[in-house]
Structure 1
Amino acid sequence: MTALNSLDIAKPPAATRVVAAMSGGVDSSVVAALLKRAGYDVIGVTLQLYDHGAAVHRAGACCAGQDIHDARRVAEAIDIPHYVLDYESRFRDAVIERFAESYLAGETPIPCVECNRTVKFRDLLGLARELGADALATGHYVSSRALANGHRGLFRAADENRDQSYFLYATTQEQLDLLRFPLGEIDKTQTRALAAELGLAIADKPDSQDICFVPNGRYADVIERLKPGAARPGEIVHLDGRVLGRHEGVLRYTVGQRKGLGLSAAEPLYVLRLDADAARVIVGPREALGIREIRLRDLNWLGDVAPDALPEDGLDIAVRVRSTRAPREARLLRDEAGLKVVLAGEEEGVSPGQACVIYENARPGARVLGGGTILSPTARISTTSPDLALAS
């Protein structure tokens, strides 16, 4: 029997075709170069996701302009075939339009999750299969390992500061079985050192930071261009029912926000809820932000025990409700309304539209069991005004 190669595939590297997703950044370039050096049959693919004309000189973006040029240069330097695919229309339909609709609905979406779920993994994996590839490799900081059941599991990266499992929870089992993440066991410093060792011209290139299609973080401007006139002005209402002011559209606010409310009040006020149907922004004291229970939609499950087969007393888990927060202990339960996450302690700023990612435990390197989109967090404090109640 042929031994497994470094990608856990029972073929010699030279007989193993790998599509390397090349964004033009350091991480994906190192992945492609490492695979080439190891003797794999590597094909580089770069996706053009939006109009690169306006983004050629933008720092901190990806998948456009200069980045495509950088990916092409790396592919030439390591001597692999390289293709640029125009996925602009797919990206607009699957990611940008949904991003705008979600904000207008009073949510705070994560477009990177949707991009990975659809364009990058679903569509690009389809292309990889058409090219006869045995694997699709990316530069994400996350790990995948073979499981006893013949599938692959998704795990937090060794470098906790770079771990991107929060953005990849929606990867399906079918996708995960074909995906490989060669950087999951190293840190960024090692990656840059490898880029220099491999002679890559982009070794010192800055990391991408912004949402690629939102220049300077001004997402409201993007949404208003996509959906002109869709932002409705309305009232800013206190939790106790008092009208405190006016706003120009709920899309300009997010749960947990304190600055930029334009209110004069004796106490600090925070956005507690966005009622898009009534065009109201509901505010209140910080203690009203505390959340203990979360409901999810669009659940993606990667665990061994199916959600509908959970024990009656639930399952001990850990969850992450923001990409910048560490996993916190929780319990996954099923009741007549479906699945719910009960947190061991209160979390603030839990917003509909964000992801709740479920881990086996809170330890470093923990396995990702799945996750979903936060639907309706249940607040600890409700209001005497029934129509403003935060409880789901």
Structure 2
Amino acid sequence: MKILVAMSGGVDSSVAAARAVDAGHEVVGVHLALSRMPGTLRTGSRGCCTIEDSRDAHRVAGMLDIPFYVWDFSERFKEDIVDDFIAEYAAGRTPNPCMRCNERIKFAALLDRALALGFDAIATGHYAEVLRDDNGLPELHRGEDLAKDQSYVLGVLSGDQLEHCYFPIGATASKAEVRAEAAERGFSVANKPDSYDICFIPDGDTKAWLADKIPMRPGLIKDAEGETLGEHDGAMTYTIGQRKGLGIQKPAADGQPRFVTGLDPASNTVTVGSRSDLAVSHLTGIRTTWAGPAPTDIGSEPATAIDCEVQIRAHSDPVPARAWLGHYISEAPEHEVNPIVDEVEVPAARPAGQLMHIDVDEELSGVAPGQTMVIYRGTRVLGQATIDVTAKDRLGV
């Protein structure tokens, strides 16, 4: 096959490229330039897609004797990822930019260009596997190394996209094995730190970054009874489940810590409560997609729900759940103007698409609208939806 390998400059994509070459494929490497002004150096394991990363990828491509290119996706990245991130926070939601990048850049814009240029598939260094069902259709499964499994952030991929995905290191037993292989091949990135945090906020200070992009306006911090406990300098810089940095002087009556339990951009209010107030047993998701064939046994009411597991964060444990479909929103409402931050155009809260309902067997804590819920059966990713509403009680009981 003719394979285009997305080479980030890290150890995983470097070994993925090497294995694609070893497998006899015709391989071309590409590094995605996602910023017009990338930093020349990363800060330890923070940040990615820098000039340094591009040079690391280029060196590995040279050692593998494969063509290497840098493609500029900076404008698309700003529009689809960075601007979306800002707008979601302005709307009081907590987005996952890595999911959006996979959905709109790596496995959409990049894949579309690759197919147009005659490539059969794109390869990345993700820890996940594409397997085939009895009908030969692709299924997305967890990587062999569960500690590094990245199937969650790939849950947005469709069956058509999975047809053209190749994950050469997905069946590797451990990250240590990947690093050892890179060292044996003489790759200088063998011990390069993994990148984490949000790539376009390399110092990790999301609050300060947002404050520079969204006009901050002070508001009130209240408890569930409406009592004012303090003030904040911008509601959109808080997230559900946050405990630190609340600045509340008055202690709770029971002496227990307080957590952010609600955000209301319309009134610019942050609501706080106890840890127990964060517990939820039901999730409603929007923008439902399926990673391969949709389950044929899922119904549209609790009585016809399917047994599954749901995962709400990249590295959280899946919990047993039951899922069923809600109604289909046929038309997306127009963009709204945030009443507090009128300079920011906010995406409609419920765009067109299928709703999904999830009842969990074990209470979840700190779940925020905007997060992604990915549903599994065993190791297989069934699909995903963006969390829109949570409830303390199950709907299907």
TM-score, structure 2 length as denominator? 0.87
SS at match of 2:289: strand
Partner amino acid, structure 2, of 1:191: V
Equivalent of 1:150 in 136, 152, 175: 136
Separation in 1 of the partners of 2:113 and 2:288? 26
Equivalent of 2:363 in 340, 346, 363: 346
Equivalent of 2:212 in 225, 243, 268: 225
SS at match of 2:153: helix
Separation in 2 of the partners of 1:199 and 1:54? 26
Partner amino acid, structure 2, of 1:242: E
Separation in 2 of the partners of 1:288 and 1:128? 48
Separation in 1 of the partners of 2:133 and 2:154? 18
Paired residues of 1:288 and 1:380 also in contact (CA < 8 A):
no
Report whether the alignment pairs 1:244 with 2:229: yes
Paired residues of 1:32 and 1:44 also in contact (CA < 8 A):
yes
Paired residues of 1:21 and 1:28 also in contact (CA < 8 A):
yes
Equivalent of 1:298 in 268, 284, 287: 287
Q: 5+ unaligned residues in a row in structure 2: which ranges?
A: 329-354
Paired residues of 2:210 and 2:237 also in contact (CA < 8 A):
no
Separation in 2 of the partners of 1:306 and 1:130? 33
Report whether the alignment pairs 1:72 with 2:61: no
SS at match of 1:254: coil
Who is 1:7 aligned against?
A: none
Paired residues of 1:354 and 1:374 also in contact (CA < 8 A):
yes
Distance 1:281 1:181, change over 3 A: same
Displacement of 1:334:
3.8
Displacement of 1:313:
2.7
Displacement of 1:104:
1.2
SS at match of 1:339: strand
Report whether the alignment pairs 1:197 with 2:184: yes
Moved more, 291-300 or 45-54: 45-54
Separation in 2 of the partners of 1:55 and 1:262? 36
Displacement of 1:57:
4.0
Who is 2:111 aligned against?
A: 125
SS at match of 2:62: helix
Who is 2:124 aligned against?
A: 138
Who is 1:107 aligned against?
A: 93
SS at match of 2:246: coil
SS at match of 1:356: strand
Paired residues of 1:52 and 1:65 also in contact (CA < 8 A):
no
Moved more, 261-270 or 286-295: 261-270
Distance 1:335 1:45, change over 3 A: closer
Separation in 2 of the partners of 1:286 and 1:169? 29
Cα deviation, 1:264-320, whole Å, max 9, x if unaligned, reads: 213311110111111110111111111000000111113432587467431001001
Paired residues of 2:298 and 2:306 also in contact (CA < 8 A):
no
Cα deviation, 1:324-349, whole Å, max 9, x if unaligned, reads: 21110000124569531000011110
TM-score, structure 1 length as denominator? 0.88
Residues paired across the two proteins, number: 360
Cα deviation, 1:181-234, whole Å, max 9, x if unaligned, reads: 11111120110111112221211111111211002211122223333x2x3221
Paired residues of 2:320 and 2:361 also in contact (CA < 8 A):
yes
Displacement of 1:131:
2.4
Who is 2:41 aligned against?
A: 56
Report whether the alignment pairs 1:319 with 2:339: no
Displacement of 1:58:
3.0
Equivalent of 2:389 in 356, 376, 386: 376
SS at match of 1:376: strand
Distance 1:146 1:282, change over 3 A: same
Who is 1:254 aligned against?
A: 239
Separation in 2 of the partners of 1:322 and 1:19? 29
Distance 1:52 1:183, change over 3 A: farther
Paired residues of 1:290 and 1:380 also in contact (CA < 8 A):
no
Separation in 1 of the partners of 2:179 and 2:146? 17
Identify the structure with bigger relative contact order (alpha carbons < 8 Å, sequence gap 6+). Answer: 2
Paired residues of 2:298 and 2:323 also in contact (CA < 8 A):
no
Distance 1:212 1:334, change over 3 A: closer
SS at match of 1:204: coil
Separation in 2 of the partners of 1:148 and 1:232? 56
Query: After the TM superposition, which segments of 4 or more aligned residues of structure 1 sit over 3 Å from their partners?
Result: 306-312, 334-338
Who is 2:199 aligned against?
A: 212
Separation in 1 of the partners of 2:318 and 2:208? 33
Q: 5+ unaligned residues in a row in structure 1: which ranges?
A: 1-15, 382-392
- Percent identity over the alignment is 39
SS at match of 2:272: strand
Separation in 2 of the partners of 1:367 and 1:129? 26
SS at match of 2:92: coil
Who is 2:267 aligned against?
A: 278
Partner amino acid, structure 1, of 2:356: L
Paired residues of 1:170 and 1:370 also in contact (CA < 8 A):
yes
SS at match of 2:149: coil
Report whether the alignment pairs 1:179 with 2:168: no
